Amino acid sequence: MGRRLPVWPVLRQLRGNDRLGLGEAARSARSDTLAPRTAEADRVVRSICPFCAVGCGQQVFVKDERVIQIEGDPDSPISRGRLCPKGSASKQLVTSPGRLTTVRYRRPYGTAWEDLPLEQAMDMIADRVLATRAATWQEHDAEGRRVNRTLGMASLGGATLDNEENYLIKKLFTALGAIQIENQARI
């Protein structure tokens, strides 16, 4: 108790103007020093909401290399600082304990996830791509037309990604000869 209340409020109450003890006299030490945590941010990073396509501006407050708050960017002429419930939940989205942090691997016919180092996963995926591509490569179709492609693999996704990321996907897959690339635009 003493730790919580360096000056007993009743004493402050009797000494000060706040005879009812409902205002100044009742302030705790924490209340005295209270400040919004955003004031203590090391930096404020400009961002854009990751949910829908309105494109609301966000300010990301960072302290000790962790996101401590995300709120609307008042400068945005699109959103004027406002966010919907999803946008308002952005900090929970990016700091959620439910997020994956390590690669999960399920072997064929396996019944449980296994660990797999990222580098090894990348190498295995590269091997799978090359093997499937080699096995399913078509130089010409049944009518003899040149197609130089594979129909052995596909990709689905992109609408939640950045333009730069979609660009690399399309560029790489096209060079691989993989044409079955799709995203949420049709779904």
Which residue, 15 or 38, has its beta carbon nearer to other proteins? 38
Tell me which DSSP letter residue 164 carries.
Answer: H
Which residue, 15 or 141, has its beta carbon nearer to other proteins? 141
Q: How far is the CB of 15 from other proteins (least distance, A)?
A: 14
What does the block give as tokens for 19?
């005879």
If one asks whether residue 17 binds other proteins (CB under 8 A), the answer comes out as no
What does the block give as tokens for 16?
């000060």
Are residues 69 and 37 in contact, defined by beta-carbon separation less than 8 angstroms? yes
From candidates 6, 7, 15, 157, binder to other proteins by CB under 8 A = 157
**What is the signed CA dihedral for 25, 27, 28, 29, rounded to 10 degrees?**
-100
If one asks whether residue 52 binds other proteins (CB under 8 A), the answer comes out as yes
Q: How far is the CB of 160 from other proteins (least distance, A)?
A: 4
What residues between 57 and 86 interact with other proteins by CB under 8 A?
A: 57-58, 60, 62, 65-67, 69-86
Tell me which DSSP letter residue 25 carries.
Answer: G
If one asks whether residue 6 binds other proteins (CB under 8 A), the answer comes out as no
DSSP H or E stretch at residue 174: helix 163-176
Q: How far is the CB of 11 from other proteins (least distance, A)?
A: 10
Size of the site for other proteins (CB under 8 A): 149
Are residues 119 and 105 in contact, defined by beta-carbon separation less than 8 angstroms? no
Which residue, 15 or 159, has its beta carbon nearer to other proteins? 159
If one asks whether residue 34 binds other proteins (CB under 8 A), the answer comes out as yes
SS3 state at 13: helix
Are residues 81 and 72 in contact, defined by beta-carbon separation less than 8 angstroms? yes
What residues between 99 and 128 interact with other proteins by CB under 8 A?
A: 99-109, 111, 113, 116, 118, 121-128
Are residues 40 and 64 in contact, defined by beta-carbon separation less than 8 angstroms? no
If one asks whether residue 186 binds other proteins (CB under 8 A), the answer comes out as yes
